[in-house]
Structure 1
């Protein structure tokens, strides 16, 4: 119980640090936020002729006072989940972010689930038969994909399968004028390319990590003893190999879930998928501070939460972790 409390307090402290950094980074960005809210012409008109009106507008958007006063106000607004309205659209920031969030989750969760099974299975096979032809071929292929930048591979896939072959749509999330099951099927059709690219990158990581885990224990005495006793290969894999690599692999998957909100940003931009990634991209370009702050905060909390889950799982199920040890990221 003491260990769980330690992990919980560490997570809460990291969340406080993330909130503070989130506030400072956004407020130290160049440019007055009011310039983007009012427009250049109206801003400078008020600035030179009616500064008192500009001060009222600044107070309306909670941009007045010293930096420390704004920080305290930001902490309170964060606790009460009040992030105001978007500087660009004028809509409630929480509603906009939550709407975009679900579309990022559709992409990321699907890709993580697919890659966890495919990458894990291939990694076990390659690690158990290390040095073989299949191991060499799979390792070469996945190392190649691991080194290609995500946006480059996404553009290549887009050009080949959308522009040249016309097998899939160029971008977007759905065609207009559809309802019901037709709209659902059309959304799945639009998901194929972005999910495939995202899953391919995660599969490469999962394969290489799982192969490394299995290779480390492949020649351990208990594995060799089990094989010498004549146990079937599938029993050796499930009873001995898989049981020992499950904890670090689950820890790896937890970290992938932690980074899922930010990991698909470039993919979303390339395929015009209106998720959290494109919202962050547009918010940074247009200096939409409230939207960017909430997005960054969600990403940080997601990473910290799944790191907390990974620590608890590793501490609970891995007997090699002694009391008082600190779990590090896989």
Structure 2
């Protein structure tokens, strides 16, 4: 299979996935308890004013009509207008997107930088103390619950020790380099929380794939030929072990996104996750639909790039 066809097929699957996510999100939001009309029109308004506002947002239309209108807006590049803020959903998301990108990308980079060495350490000391310790830490990390981790970090490092701020993205009244320092300080606890949650899976996957790679025939041949163990481990075995780890990065993005929603809520971090929480409490359908669409597109794109990268790393994938 040519690389062009390989990419085209992944792109087609991505579009179907996005359409499915858009449809499911649209329908599920309509099942939420409460009256979304209250976010648009007050109960104190006259019936004529209320009806005019509901008509303006299309809330007076049958469900199928609302769905068709929503798809029509998406095709034109419009995500609608926020019920509560009365501004385009695109503006709402663009205000919050940089904070979520900063949080998730930093957490992903830290996970890779910490996870690869820990996985290599465990695999190179198979069934020894270090290996068992890393396994215990990995399984413990997989069992952690995002809000619980966040609350513990807030109580210990935010309130008890006062090392880090307990909420927000930066302090008010600071400018220049002080502002960047404030952003870094506020970022520490959310990043640590999100990294701890996803690190366990990455370390255990890295350990398992590297142990499998070390048992391959070409590794045995390299040992027979007298190559140093360190070179065999880091240059030959690790290269093949990184293939599943590369896939895991793409798969974990969905968990990172879900974790970011809870993390941003716990730490009052002004990203898209926090925006989703606030929109749910206010039944702000357009913001919720736009946020979930953005997250779905992001996950699909990252998974597509992961598949393409995997195809370059292992040419057998292109012809499978």
Please tell me whether the aligned partners of residues 40 and 54 of structure 2 are also in contact (alpha carbons under 8 angstroms).
Answer: no
1:10 — aligned with what? 13
1:230 — aligned with what? 226
1:92 — aligned with what? 88
1:112 — aligned with what? 108
| SS of 2:317 mapped into structure 1 | coil
CA displacement, residues 63-90 of structure 1 (integer Å, 9 cap, x when unaligned): 2332222212101111222223221222
Shift in Å, 1:291: 0.5
Shift in Å, 1:261: 3.5
Please tell me whether the aligned partners of residues 105 and 261 of structure 1 are also in contact (alpha carbons under 8 angstroms).
Answer: no
> For the structure 1 residues 306 and 148, does the alpha-carbon distance in structure 2 shift closer, same or farther, using more than 3 Å as the test?
same
Are 2:151 and 1:151 aligned? no
TM-score with structure 2 length normalisation? 0.93
Shift in Å, 1:320: 4.2
Shift in Å, 1:306: 1.6
Please tell me whether the aligned partners of residues 102 and 275 of structure 1 are also in contact (alpha carbons under 8 angstroms).
Answer: yes
- C-alpha distance in structure 2 between counterparts of 1:310 and 1:127, whole Å: 24
1:328 — aligned with what? none
CA displacement, residues 154-188 of structure 1 (integer Å, 9 cap, x when unaligned): 11111111111111112121111111111111111
Please tell me whether the aligned partners of residues 93 and 272 of structure 2 are also in contact (alpha carbons under 8 angstroms).
Answer: yes
Please tell me whether the aligned partners of residues 146 and 259 of structure 2 are also in contact (alpha carbons under 8 angstroms).
Answer: no
Quick one: which of 130, 133, 138 aligns to 2:129?
133
Quick one: which of 2, 20, 23 aligns to 2:23?
20
| SS of 1:173 mapped into structure 2 | coil
Provide runs of 4+ in structure 1 moved above 6 Å: none
Q: How does 1:1-330 map onto structure 2 within 5 Å?
A: 1-42=4-45, 46=46, 50=47, 52-257=48-253, 259-321=255-317, 323=319, 325=320
- C-alpha distance in structure 1 between counterparts of 2:315 and 2:89, whole Å: 45
| SS of 2:44 mapped into structure 1 | helix
TM-score with structure 1 length normalisation? 0.90
